C-alpha cells in the first residue's frame, strides 16, 4: 500500500464509519480492488481510531460531563446510598452506566470470536449477504417504528440491546452504526437520538479494539503479511480524523430531517454490485493470505 492508496482508504473509512453502510465492508471491498488483497483487520481497526477521535472531539462536552458526573456519583457526592452512587437522578452519570452496559456484549464477543472475525467472517459472500439483509431490515424498521424516546429515556435494558446491535458489527457488512441505529429505531428512539447514542456507545469499543490491534501490530508487524506498514496506516488514520469530524456534523443534520431509506437502498445496491463482481471473478471471496491464516 502506498500513501495515495492509504489516503483513499482513509477517505472511504471517514465517509462510511458513521453511516449505517458498514465501513469495514467498504475497506474490505475497495482494498481488494485497489491493492489486490484485503488490507486486514489490524489496518481497519487502527484507522478507526482516527474516526473515533473525531467523535471524541465532537462530543467532548458530553464525554467530560459523563465522566465527571459518573465519578462524582460513584464516590458519594450526590448521596452515600447505593442508588445515588449508581447515578439516580443524574442524567450524565446514568448515561455513563448505560455506555458501560452497552459495551459488555462487544467486549465479550470480540475477545471470544477474535480469530473468526479476522479470518472466516472476512469472506465477501458473507459481507454481501449481511449488506443486503440489514439494508432491508433498516428500511423496514425505520419506516414502521415510532419516534417517542429520547436519550434521557434510555434504560439498562435498552443499553444492553444497543450493545448487542453494536456487536453485530464484528461481521463485516453489518455496520456498527447500522446495528445500533436499527436497534434504537426498533425500540422507538428518535432518529437523531439513535445516532447520538450509537456514537457514544462506540467510543469504548472502537478505541479499545484499535489500541489492541495497534499493540499487536507493533509486536507482529514483521510477520503480518496483511499489515501495510505504519506510514500508510498513520496517514489513513489522520485523514479519517479530519474528514470524519466534518461527516459527523453533516450526518446529524441529515437524520434530523430525513429517514434512513437512502442508506438502506445504497446498502442493497452495493450488495448487488459486489455480488456481480464476485460472480465474474473480479473480486475473490476470500483473500489468499486471510485463508492461509484461518
* 187-219 per-position pLDDT tens digit: 999 988 988 888 888 888 777 777 777 777 667
Query: Which triple of cell numbers denotes residue 150?
Result: 429520547
* 173-192 per-position pLDDT tens digit: 888 888 899 999 999 999 88
Under a CB-based contact definition with an 8 Å cutoff, are residues 170 and 44 in contact?
no
pLDDT at position 6 is 85
d(CA 128, CA 168): 15
Under a CB-based contact definition with an 8 Å cutoff, are residues 173 and 129 in contact?
yes
Under a CB-based contact definition with an 8 Å cutoff, are residues 44 and 69 in contact?
no
- What average pLDDT does the chain have? 84
Under a CB-based contact definition with an 8 Å cutoff, are residues 127 and 172 in contact?
yes
Amino acid at each position: 500500500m502506498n500513501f495515495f492508496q492509504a489516503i483513499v482508504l482513509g477517505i472511504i473509512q471517514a465517509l462510511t464509519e458513521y453511516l449505517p453502510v458498514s465501513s469495514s465492508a467498504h475497506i474490505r471491498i475497495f482494498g481488494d480492488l485497489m491493492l489486490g488483497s484485503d488490507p486486514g483487520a489490524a489496518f481497519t481497526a487502527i484507522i478507526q481510531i482516527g474516526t473515533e477521535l473525531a467523535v471524541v472531539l465532537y462530543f467532548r462536552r458530553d464525554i467530560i460531563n459523563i465522566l465527571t458526573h459518573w465519578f462524582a456519583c460513584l464516590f458519594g457526592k450526590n448521596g452515600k446510598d447505593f442508588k445515588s452512587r449508581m447515578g439516580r437522578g443524574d442524567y450524565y452519570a446514568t448515561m455513563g452506566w448505560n455506555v458501560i452496559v452497552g459495551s459488555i456484549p462487544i467486549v465479550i464477543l470480540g475477545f471470544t470470536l477474535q480469530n473468526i472475525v479476522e479470518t472466516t467472517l472476512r469472506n465477501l459472500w458473507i459481507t454481501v449477504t449481511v449488506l443486503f439483509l440489514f439494508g432491508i431490515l433498516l428500511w423496514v424498521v425505520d419506516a414502521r417504528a415510532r419516534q417517542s424516546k429520547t436519550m434521557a429515556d434510555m434504560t439498562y435494558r435498552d443499553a444492553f440491546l444497543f450493545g448487542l446491535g453494536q456487536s453485530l458489527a464484528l461481521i463485516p457488512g453489518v455496520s456498527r452504526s447500522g446495528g445500533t441505529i436499527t436497534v434504537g429505531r426498533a425500540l422507538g428512539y428518535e432518529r437523531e437520538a439513535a445516532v447520538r447514542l450509537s456514537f457514544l456507545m462506540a467510543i469504548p469499543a472502537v478505541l479499545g479494539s484499535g489500541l489492541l490491534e495497534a499493540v499487536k501490530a507493533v509486536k507482529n508487524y514483521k510477520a503480518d503479511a496483511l499489515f501495510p506498514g505504519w506510514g500508510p496506516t498513520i496517514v489513513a488514520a489522520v485523514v479519517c480524523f479530519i474528514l470524519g469530524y466534518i461527516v459527523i456534523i453533516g450526518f446529524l443534520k441529515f437524520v434530523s430531517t430525513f429517514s434512513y431509506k437512502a442508506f438502506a437502498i445504497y446498502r442493497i445496491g452495493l450488495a448487488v454490485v459486489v455480488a456481480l463482481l464476485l460472480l465474474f471473478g473480479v473480486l475473490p471471496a476470500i483473500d489468499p493470505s486471510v485463508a492461509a491464516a484461518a
